[in-house]
A and B are shown apart, each in its own frame.
Chain A
Amino acid sequence: MTSLIHNAGRRPRFRRKLLLAAGAAAAGILALAACSSGATPTSGSTSSSTSSSSGKVTLTFWSWVPGIATSVNLWNKTHPDIQVNLDETTSGNAGTYAKMFSALQAGNAPDLGQVEYATLPNFEHVGGVIDLSKYGADSVKSDFVPWTWSQVSQGSAVYAIPQDTGPMGLFYRADLFQKYGLAVPTTWAQFLSDAEKVHAAHPSVYIAAFPANDAQWFAGLAWQAGAQWFTTSGDTWVAGIDDSASTEVANFWQQLISDHLVKVEPDFATEWYKDLSDGTLLTWPTAVWGENTLVTNAASTKGDWRVAPMPNWGSTKSNGNWGGSTTVVFKDSKYPAEAAQFAEWLNTNQQSITSLISNGGLYPADLAGQQLPAANSPVAFYGGQNIWSVFRANGQLVNTSFQWGPIMSTTFTQMQDGFGKATGGSSTLAQQLTTTQSETVSSMKSQGFSVTSG
């Protein structure tokens, strides 16, 4: 300690200068604190509905969809008595779900929230979402793609209003397919032979990437193949993450990985964007919303991409879904009727949907919305192809009986950790599916769920 004292004592002038600096900084901070507390009194608050004396209702809404503010503003303009306060958050799996769960526990959740289909059962099982059938949700049932409605309802209860969907398709580089003399694959077997052919001739070119970090992508592929990860039998969950369809998909990609025919890399990462732009990757099997990802992140390839239906397993046509989310009303809302009204409006009003399509890159779950010009016209980036019609047609093929389990975020994490090991070379994707299955079952058992392996 002595040297501090000693040193400081020896430099009185330096000391004063610093003190002045600290004082100035302090003054600045105080001014700043004053102005920021004045400027944003509500944005920092998670508090639920508040009502002023005039009878005006204010609802809080947590969402991360880019540009959703446009829809919210539209609502606020046309509904002066029900004002919606939007809190823009990070995406659900980046921590917002956890924050929703703990807010529910503490009894101060927002009125409305963005929740993906896969996570909805999580919220149902903690009793966090309000049954909207009490507020007339059934009246909009026929507006939506049938499988989405079956994912948001349990019996007669309706726990969310569907917002968007993610029917899958194969985005491919038409120019490079032609250049390398490849045929657009209609089956996965052809996909494999294309992969071999192009990689043999051009070792730095791959048919696709394998993102070990993205279990939801894999889920979409398994869904297409007819997987049934979760079903219920009476009061018991039946888990089948390593069922034969999923294992078939895993073995298929394992072969591509082992033969170095796909590039193993995380998706939605810098290098992956580069690979989509520079011809390293020839295809991207993905959901309809991937359209926007390519337009934004592979701008230099304008006119080169096209969309084809997903390659099939054998001769049966089928499709999977990746992503999509819903709007829920949380149990703590003091104005559930008003919140339900907003949730329905947000996802069925054509102006709102148009904005969600063009600003948020969403593909609506609302059937009429799918006919809107914003989601049903040729796209210049895709060489003038009306890619939407491909997705609309193939959206009909999505297997409607696929069901999510109650702890999907845990399952996804376990699968991603496992796939990381598999691509690291220490095991295989199929082995890791089995590991994920047993880990998920034991996680569920330890929480008290009644569960068996399918």
Chain B
Amino acid sequence: MVALGGPVRSRAYAAPGVSRSGILATAFMFVCAVYFLLPAWWLIVSSTKGPSTLYASQGFWFSQFHFMSNLTGLFTYDGGIYWHWLANTLLYAGGGALGATLLAAAAGYALAKYDFRGRELVFSIILGGVLVPGTALALPLYLLMSKVDLTNTYWAVLLPSLVSPFGVYLARVYAAAAIPDELIEAGRIDGASEGRIFRTVSLRIMSPALVTMFLFQFVAIWNNFFLPLVMLSNTRLYPVTLGLYSWNNEYGQAPQLVSYVVIGSLISVIPLVIAFLSLQRFWRSGLAAGGVKL
């Protein structure tokens, strides 16, 4: 296909929205957006309704406004247990992801920058860990934790969350490519210890990878429903997901819980959704790293 004279106008340069197919495609996109946003819209609308109007009114539009009383109820019900759940979630997902990132960074760094016997074997075993489904681990972990009297404690959820084999992988690849050997060598000549070099030089260079590692682990923990479900029986130790799940099964005790589950879901996802959307480019870069290579 050879263009025979005359400028060939690429469609990409056509004024957006002018072509008929462009309009059609945009319309299709709007329909899709409705699909993805409608449940969220329902959540927002419903969080303003009281338990009695929740079903008595049109689901997708506002009715009597009970947002503030729902909010007060949410935060005071059962001695303000929702606060505990939020704090626990921050501890499990935030603390767990932070710890996991640092541990994985050190391990990945060691695998990238030092030569020692069995290095590739260690790396293969850790990579194998990526492929083991987390849910299959949860049951035996529970039995083990029970043996040492750690079930039904913060540690039962936090400790397993500190292990991120994928983080080690990311850290290794990144450290190998981004940290120049000369820099480490220079540190040694200056008399710095290996640990000091890692802390002051290498960790700083690895920081963009650390953010991606943190994000991945944060999502993995925040989404892990099975582990806390299995480990925890005391409701004060629940993360917010498990807490809302338990409320969702307890309407019989208190019908206002319907409203609290709705508004509690909304409140708990708002910070996450904002963070996710604003960090979208970080996801993309991390994802591109994994996907595009193939």
Direct contact of A and B (CB under 8 A): yes
Say whether B128 faces chain A, with CB atoms less than 8 Å apart: no
| Separation of A431 and B251 alpha carbons in the complex (Å) | 33
The count of chain A contact residues (Cβ–Cβ below 8 Å) is: 53
Instruction: Tell yes or no: A43 within 8 A of B by CB.
Output: yes
Query: With A1-B177, A25-B94 known to touch, is A103 a contact of B151 (CB < 8 Å)?
Result: yes
- Judge if A5 is at the interface, Cβ distance under 8 Å: yes
Assess the A29–B237 pair: CB atoms within 8 A.
no
Segment at the A interface, from B37-45, B129-137, B140-148, B193-201: B140-148
CA–CA, A90 and B143, complex, Å: 19
Closest chain B residue, CB of each to CB of A7:
B285
**Within 8 Å of chain A (Cβ to Cβ): is B211?**
yes
Quote the shortest CB–CB distance from A65 to chain B (angstroms): 10
> By the criterion CB–CB under 8 Å, are B234 and A273 in contact?
no
Does residue B26 face the partner (Cβ distance < 8 Å to A)?
Answer: no
Are B233 and A90 in touch, CB under 8 angstroms? yes
Partner of A106, one of B94, B146, B212, B236: B146
- Whether B94 pairs with A3 at a CB distance below 8 angstroms is no
Residues of A near B91 (CB, < 8 A) are 29, 32-33, 36
> Of the 9-residue stretches A14-22, A136-144, A200-208, A240-248, which lies at the interface with chain B?
A14-22
- Which of B146, B211, B255 is A19 in contact with, Cβ under 8 Å? B211
Residues of A within 8 A of B293 (CB): 1
Interface bits A90-127 vs B (CB < 8 Å: 1, else 0): 10001110010011011010000000000000000000
CB pair A268–B154 under 8 Å, yes or no, is no
Q: SS class of chain A's interface: helix, strand, loop or mixed?
A: helix
| Chain A: CB-nearest residue to B172 | A1
Chain A 395-409: CB-based contact to B (< 8 A → 1; otherwise 0): 000000000000000
Total contacting residues, chain B, CB less than 8 A:
53
A3-B285, A36-B91, A45-B152 known; A95-B229 Cβ under 8 A: yes
Q: Is the CB of A36 within 8 A of B152?
A: no
Chain A positions 381-425 with a Cβ under 8 Å from a chain B Cβ: none
Is A446 close to B, CB under 8 A? Answer: no
With contacts A4-B289, A32-B91, A90-B246 taken as known, whether A297 is within 8 angstroms of B211 at the C-beta atoms is no
Whether B173 contacts A1 by the Cβ 8 Å rule is yes
Query: Within 8 Å of chain A (Cβ to Cβ): is B126?
Result: no
In whole angstroms, how far apart are the Cα atoms of A106 and B151 in the complex? 11
Q: Does A371 have its Cβ within 8 Å of any Cβ on chain B?
A: no
Contact with A along B238-279 (1 / 0, CB 8 A): 000000001001011111001000000000000000000001
A5→B112 CA distance, assembly (Å): 15
| In contact, B147 and A106 (Cβ under 8 angstroms) | yes
Contacts A8-B209, A99-B151; A32 near B229 (Cβ below 8 A) = no
Q: How far, in whole Å, are A37 and B154 apart by their CA atoms in the complex? A: 9
A299 to B255, CA, bound (A): 10
Contacts of A22 in B (CB 8 A): 98, 210-211, 214
Q: How far is the CA of A270 from the CA of B289 in the complex (A)?
A: 45
Collect the chain B residues with CB atoms within 8 Å of residue A14's CB.
281
Residue of A nearest to B248 (CB): A270
Asked if A88 is at the interface (CB within 8 A of a chain B CB), the reply is yes
With a cutoff of 8 Å between Cβ atoms, the chain B residues found around residue A9 in the complex are: 208
Give the residues in chain B near A105, CB-CB below 8 Å.
Answer: 146
Distance of B289 from chain A, by nearest CB (Å): 4
Minimum distance in angstroms from B254 CB to a CB of chain A: 7
Complex Cα gap A23–B95 (Å) = 12
Docked-complex contact B258 and A270, CB < 8 angstroms: yes
Interface of B is mostly: helix
How long is the Cα–Cα vector from A99 to B235 in the complex, in angstroms? 14
Q: Is A300 an interface residue (CB 8 A)?
A: yes
A273 / chain B contacts, CB cutoff of 8 Å: 251-252, 255
Nearest-neighbor residue (CB-CB) of A19 within chain B: B207
Confirm or deny: A231 has a beta carbon within 8 angstroms of a beta carbon on chain B. no
What are the interface flags for B67-96 relative to A under an 8 Å C-beta threshold, 1 for contact and 0 otherwise?
Answer: 000000000000000000001101100110
B98 close to A29 (CB less than 8 A): yes
Distance of A273 Cα from B52 Cα, bound (Å): 11
A4 in contact with B229 (CB, 8 Å) = no
At the interface, yes or no: A293 with Cβ under 8 Å from chain B?
A: yes
Interface string of A291-307 (1 = CB under 8 A from B): 00100110110000000
Interface: A56 (CB within 8 A)? no
Give the chain A neighbours of B254 by CB distance below 8 A.
296
The A-contacting residues of B in range 174-220, CB under 8 angstroms, are 174, 177-178, 207-212, 214
| Nearest-Cβ distance from residue B88 to partner chain A, whole angstroms | 8
CA distance A99 to B285 in the complex (A): 43
B208 touches A4 (CB 8 A): yes
Q: Which A33-69 residues sit within 8 Å CB-CB of chain B?
A: 33, 36-37, 40, 43-47, 62, 66
Which residues on B sit within 8 Å (CB–CB) of A8?
A: 208-209, 285
A450 interface contact, C-beta 8 A: no
Q: A88 near B234 (CB under 8 angstroms)? A: yes
- B253 contacts A46, CB within 8 Å? no
Q: List 8 A-B contacts (CB under 8 A).
A: A3-B289, A8-B285, A15-B208, A19-B207, A22-B210, A44-B236, A95-B229, A297-B255
A-B pairs, top 10 by smallest CB distance, nearest first, are A8-B208, A4-B289, A7-B285, A44-B153, A89-B233, A106-B146, A29-B94, A3-B288, A102-B146, A29-B95
Q: Assuming A22-B214, A89-B233, what are 9 further A-B pairs, CB within 8 angstroms?
A: A4-B174, A7-B281, A9-B208, A28-B90, A45-B153, A87-B152, A88-B235, A95-B229, A296-B252
The residues of B with any CB-CB pair to A shorter than 8 Å are 52, 55, 87-88, 90-91, 94-95, 98, 142-143, 146-147, 149, 151-154, 173-174, 177-178, 207-212, 214, 229-230, 233-237, 246, 249, 251-255, 258, 279, 281-282, 285-286, 288-289, 292-293
